[in-house]
Amino acid sequence: MEDPQRAEQWVASLPAGPFRENAIASYVDAASNWAPDLAAEQALTLADGSVRTQKVEMCLKRWMEVDPVSAQQWLPKANLPPNLKNRYRHM
């Protein structure tokens, strides 16, 4: 992926529906390796709660590896279940 921010803008601009959900999930899978912060933000927009949680957690794991300070700053502001926040708050 050459430009994660441009790809993020594209998937965010798609109309709601299955195509958008699949595009976001695919974007998150790819971008979590290079831009876990952007990927996490997009993962939060997924409609399916279980997929959303799975994708956000995938992003957080990578984000904690590459930039734990910014991940820890983002975590309290993110709309996530408390148990997920607690799991990553102490890493």
Phi, psi angle pair for 23, to nearest 5°: -65, -45
Question: Which is it for the CA torsion 79, 80, 81, 85, positive or negative?
Answer: negative
Question: For residue 2, what pLDDT band results from cuts at 50, 70 and 90?
Answer: low
pLDDT at 6: 85
Is this structure's pTM higher than 0.85? yes
pLDDT, one tens digit per residue, over 53-85 is 999 999 999 999 999 999 999 999 998 989 888
